[in-house]
């Protein structure tokens, strides 16, 4: 710039001297033609030359000043531009240099600068969107504290756009909650005005025809109050808002921003803001949708869909908790096992739809006729169980008999208009008189039920002395059988294929534990797994299973995955992790093809230890699956806190999804949630060909069940 000014100054000075000489020469010739004396001639000539130089000098100074000022302004504007992003802060002004050509060049330069400034803004926005895209993975941390995650993003966004506040709104059912993130604490004095502005735009976007929208506001400053921010008032703010409505779950979400009005004069910035709002809307809406799905799934996972009572898994957990409390506080409690009489005949006579309605009505009746502190659950098809705290055998039998008497006095209308009377048989077991653990109490009450059914039904029964002896004998026999199985290596792996619904081929196998006795008879895990866990033999049995399964798999061609069931307690044992590493190395089986299925048979109190063990497996390349998803409390803790790759939906939901709409909704919701979390879904208990296409349409990735293939001692495809 200085070089250009010097050249221009030399040019003006040279032109001035030439003009002065030319004018002096012309004046000399003119005066000489008028016969001036030499002395007069030189005086006039000198005077004219002086005036000419004075005028030209003033003109040169004026032009040089204007030209220099124009160049200096441009120079100052670009002096601090060291990178492309600095152009967004640069300010340039057009100065009239007095030369049309120079003015035209200056205008073109300024237009170019403005274009480059716009490119700089777009580059910043693009970089922010790329960073945002990288963070769009919905990790457990994001799900647990999405406001914190959003705050970090908005602090970066504020460096690009001069916004006053950002708001997020969610409407679920009748409530609409609005989180307002303010970038300058000075806006606190305008809280009511801001709420009014946000209410107006949300009313127009969310509920334009349904009257006033009831909003609850939560305000938060993005920066500390001592940080100095530029003051800005509501009159200087313009708003933009994006809204999305989800039918399932019923959720309306919206995000918006309040920015300085001049920010929206730039069309490119408006487009960039709209793009960013859409991206952020997708992010926060996905988080809230997952929260809604999880809330619904968690409710239905703990409840029986048909009756609304607790399901079997939850009942077992509540029963164990009741045992611990009773032991600690030294009180008795009773377990009732209630079995409906002749329910099979009712189903056959009036159909399953009426049978379901009948069971739901019966559950409601039983619930109303128990005490408020009693806990009722549906245990099976036509079986119910109840926990009666602070109750001995005499009181429990009295309550059960009153229930049967009241039930005898009511009737249920059948589809053909007849009155149907129901009856039940009830078994009673009391802690600690009959047993000291929950499983034994239920087993004894169940045995008492079947005894009274053989005596004519519609009665109440208690355990007999021989029942407890027989139960203990059965347990002892099972314990001895397991010790023999360990000693003689009688554990064998069975493989059940897992089918990829999209690619239509078998891509994995679940490894199932079996025990084969000396006569060749094979026993499934359900026959001995609870005893194995209770006696602490499960880890040794699982290690035999792993070794035999990996040995066979290493001899089989293909890149299939192997799914292994594993109790969390086994996973927490350090010797298991070391043994697993040794087996994988010995059989040269890639850890990337191993999927660990976490089961919920035992509760894990120290989740941090489990997370640490899981991360060790993940660091070695192995993957993680949740087994029996939807069947208990722990699924959701695991899903939120562990790096899950696969979710296996409880087979009970899959098996009945074609006749029970609520089961189908559960599978669909689980698939949708898994999609948002980038998790693969496996549907268990697929026993019909017609289920395959329906599962695929719902977004389920894999299917497993007897239609795909039954468990077998060899790895082979078995789909029909």
pLDDT in tens, 548-564: 999 999 988 888 999 99
Write down the residue that tokens 């793009």 correspond to: 275
Q: Based on the fold, state whether residues 501 and 435 are members of the same structural domain.
A: no
Q: Based on the fold, state whether residues 404 and 430 are members of the same structural domain.
A: yes
Q: Based on the fold, state whether residues 504 and 586 are members of the same structural domain.
A: yes
Closest CA to 500 of 208, 699, 701, 269: 701
Task: For the chain, give the percent of residues with pLDDT over 70.
Answer: 69
Q: What CA–CA distance (Å, rounded) separates 334 from 461? A: 13
Closest CA to 463 of 433, 503, 496: 433
Above 80 in pLDDT, residue 546? yes
Q: How many CB atoms lie within 10 A of CB 516?
A: 15
Task: For the chain, give the percent of residues with pLDDT over 90.
Answer: 20
Residue 538: in which H helix or E strand, if any?
Answer: helix 538-554
The arithmetic mean of pLDDT across residues 100-118, rounded, is: 62
Q: Based on the fold, state whether residues 400 and 507 are members of the same structural domain.
A: no
pLDDT of the residue at 120: 52
Above 90 in pLDDT, residue 3? no
Q: Long-range contacts for 708-714 (Cβ within 8 Å, ≥24 apart)?
A: 708/496, 708/497, 708/498, 708/499, 708/506, 709/496, 709/497, 709/506, 710/496, 711/494, 711/495, 711/496, 711/510, 711/512, 711/514, 712/494, 712/495, 712/496, 713/492, 713/493, 713/494, 713/495, 714/495, 714/552
Domain that holds residue 287: 138-302
The arithmetic mean of pLDDT across residues 626-639, rounded, is: 67
The answer to the question of residue 644 being in a domain is yes
Q: Which of 245, 275, 302 is the last residue of a domain?
A: 302
Lowest average pLDDT, out of 32-36, 215-219, 251-255, goes to 32-36
pLDDT of the residue at 705: 92
* Whether residue 570 has a cis bond before it, omega within 30° of 0: no
Band of the pLDDT at 199, cuts 50, 70, 90?
confident
Lowest average pLDDT, out of 114-118, 273-277, 647-651, goes to 114-118
The arithmetic mean of pLDDT across residues 11-36, rounded, is: 59
Q: Based on the fold, state whether residues 581 and 668 are members of the same structural domain.
A: yes
CATH number at residue 401: 3.30.70.270
Q: Based on the fold, state whether residues 496 and 515 are members of the same structural domain.
A: yes
Check residue 454 and report its DSSP letter. H
Band of the pLDDT at 400, cuts 50, 70, 90?
very high
pLDDT, tens digit (0-9, with 9 covering 90-100), for 295-311: 666 666 678 878 889 88
Above 60 in pLDDT, residue 136? no
Phi, psi of 512 (to 5 degrees): -115, 140
Q: Are 448 and 429 in contact (CB under 8 A)?
A: yes
The answer to the question of residue 711 being in a domain is no
The answer to the question of residue 129 being in a domain is no
Residues 6+ apart with CB under 8 A from 193: 234
The answer to the question of residue 709 being in a domain is no
Band of the pLDDT at 589, cuts 50, 70, 90?
very high
pLDDT, tens digit (0-9, with 9 covering 90-100), for 42-92: 565 565 656 555 655 555 555 556 666 666 665 655 555 555 445 555 555
pLDDT of the residue at 550: 94
The arithmetic mean of pLDDT across residues 126-136, rounded, is: 56
The answer to the question of residue 126 being in a domain is no
Q: Based on the fold, state whether residues 561 and 456 are members of the same structural domain.
A: no
Q: Based on the fold, state whether residues 181 and 36 are members of the same structural domain.
A: no
Q: Based on the fold, state whether residues 688 and 603 are members of the same structural domain.
A: yes
Band of the pLDDT at 14, cuts 50, 70, 90?
low
The answer to the question of residue 340 being in a domain is yes
The answer to the question of residue 234 being in a domain is yes
pLDDT of the residue at 401: 93
How far apart, in Å, do the first and last CA atoms of the chain sit? 83
Lowest average pLDDT, out of 184-198, 226-240, 270-284, 472-486, goes to 226-240
The overall average pLDDT reported for the chain is 77
pLDDT of the residue at 130: 57
The answer to the question of residue 720 being in a domain is no
Count of structural domains, the chain: 4
pLDDT, tens digit (0-9, with 9 covering 90-100), for 166-176: 888 888 666 78
Q: Which of 269, 302, 335 is the last residue of a domain?
A: 302
Q: What CA–CA distance (Å, rounded) separates 242 from 299? A: 31
pLDDT of the residue at 181: 84
The arithmetic mean of pLDDT across residues 139-146, rounded, is: 63
Q: Based on the fold, state whether residues 284 and 382 are members of the same structural domain.
A: no
pLDDT of the residue at 676: 77
Q: Based on the fold, state whether residues 503 and 640 are members of the same structural domain.
A: yes
Q: Which of 302, 328, 351 is the last residue of a domain?
A: 302
Q: Is 359 exposed, middle or buried (0-12, 13-18, 19+ CB in 10 A)?
A: buried
Q: What CA–CA distance (Å, rounded) separates 328 from 7? A: 99
| Secondary structure in 3-state letters for 470-513 | HHHHHHHHHHHHHHHHHHCCCEEEEEEEEEECCCCEEEEEEEEE
Write down the residue that tokens 């009830």 correspond to: 426
Q: What CA–CA distance (Å, rounded) separates 182 from 259? A: 11
Q: Based on the fold, state whether residues 494 and 587 are members of the same structural domain.
A: yes
pLDDT of the residue at 578: 85
CATH number at residue 515: 3.20.20.450
Q: What CA–CA distance (Å, rounded) separates 85 from 66? A: 30
């Amino acid at each position: 710039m200085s070089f250009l000014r010097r050249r221009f100054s030399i040019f003006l000075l040279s032109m001035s001297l030439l003009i002065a000489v030319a004018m002096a020469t012309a004046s000399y010739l003119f005066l000489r033609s008028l016969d001036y004396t030499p002395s007069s001639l030189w005086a006039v000539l000198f005077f004219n030359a002086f005036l000419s130089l004075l005028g030209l000098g003033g003109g040169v100074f004026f032009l040089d000043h204007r030209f220099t000022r124009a160049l200096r302004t441009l120079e100052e504007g670009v002096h601090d531009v060291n990178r492309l992003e600095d152009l967004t802060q640069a300010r340039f002004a057009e100065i009239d240099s007095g030369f049309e050509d120079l003015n035209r060049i200056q205008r073109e330069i300024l237009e170019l600068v403005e274009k480059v400034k716009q490119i700089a803004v777009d580059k910043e926005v693009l970089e922010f969107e790329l960073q945002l895209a990288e963070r769009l993975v919905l990790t457990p941390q994001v799900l647990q504290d999405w406001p914190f995650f959003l705050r970090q993003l908005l602090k970066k966004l504020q460096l690009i756009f001069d916004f006053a506040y950002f708001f997020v709104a969610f409407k679920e059912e009748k409530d609409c909650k609005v989180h307002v993130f303010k970038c300058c604490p000075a806006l606190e004095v305008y809280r009511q005005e801001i709420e009014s502005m946000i209410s107006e735009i949300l009313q127009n976007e969310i509920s334009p025809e349904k009257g006033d929208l009831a909003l609850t506001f939560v305000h938060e400053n993005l920066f500390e109050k001592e940080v100095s921010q530029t003051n800005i008032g509501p009159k200087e703010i313009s708003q933009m808002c994006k809204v999305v409505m989800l039918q399932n779950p019923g959720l309306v979400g919206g995000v918006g921003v309040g920015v300085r009005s001049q920010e929206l004069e730039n069309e490119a910035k408006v487009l960039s803001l709209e793009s960013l709002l859409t991206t952020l809307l997708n992010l926060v809406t996905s988080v809230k949708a997952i929260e809604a799905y999880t809330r619904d799934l968690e409710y239905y996972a703990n409840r029986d869909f048909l009756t609304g009572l607790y399901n079997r898994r939850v009942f077992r957990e509540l029963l164990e908790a009741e045992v611990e409390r009773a032991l600690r506080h030294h009180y008795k409690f009773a377990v009732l096992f209630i079995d409906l009489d002749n329910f099979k005949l009712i189903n056959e006579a009036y159909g399953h739809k009426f049978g379901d309605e009948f069971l739901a009505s019966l559950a409601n009746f039983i619930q109303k006729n128990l005490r408020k502190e009693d806990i009722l659950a549906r245990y099976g098809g036509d079986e119910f169980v109840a926990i009666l705290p602070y109750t001995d055998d005499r009181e429990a039998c009295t309550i059960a008999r009153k229930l049967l008497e009241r039930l005898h006095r009511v009737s249920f209308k059948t589809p053909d208009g007849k009155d149907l009377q129901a009856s039940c048989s009830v078994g009673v077991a009391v802690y600690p008189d009959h047993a000291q653990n929950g499983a034994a109490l239920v087993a004894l009450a169940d045995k008492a039920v079947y005894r009274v059914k053989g005596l004519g039904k519609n009665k109440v029964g208690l355990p007999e002395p021989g029942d407890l002896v027989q139960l203990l004998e059965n347990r002892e026999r099972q314990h001895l059988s397991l010790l023999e199985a360990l000693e003689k290596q009688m554990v064998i792996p069975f493989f059940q294929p897992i089918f990829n619904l999209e690619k239509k081929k078998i891509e994995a196998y679940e490894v199932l534990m079996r025990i084969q006795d000396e006569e060749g008879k094979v026993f499934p895990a359900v026959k001995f797994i609870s005893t194995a866990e209770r006696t602490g033999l499960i880890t040794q049995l699982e290690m035999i299973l792993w070794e035999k399964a990996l040995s066979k798999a290493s001899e089989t061609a293909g890149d299939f995955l192997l799914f292994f069931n594993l109790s969390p307690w086994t996973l927490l044992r350090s010797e298991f992790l070391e043994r697993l590493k040794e087996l994988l190395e010995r059989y040269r089986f890639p850890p990337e093809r191993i999927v660990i299925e976490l089961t919920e048979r035992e509760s894990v109190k120290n989740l941090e230890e489990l997370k640490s063990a899981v991360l060790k497996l993940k660091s070695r390349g192995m993957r993680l699956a949740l087994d029996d998803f939807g069947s208990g409390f722990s699924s959701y803790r695991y899903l939120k806190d562990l790096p899950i790759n696969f979710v296996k939906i409880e087979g009970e939901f899959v098996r009945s999804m074609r006749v029970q709409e609520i089961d189908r909704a559960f599978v669909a919701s689980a698939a949708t949630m898994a999609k948002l979390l980038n998790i693969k879904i496996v549907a268990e208990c697929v026993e019909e060909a017609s289920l395959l296409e329906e599962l695929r349409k719902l977004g389920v990735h894999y299917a497993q069940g007897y239609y795909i293939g039954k468990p077998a001692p060899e790895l082979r495809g078995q789909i029909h």
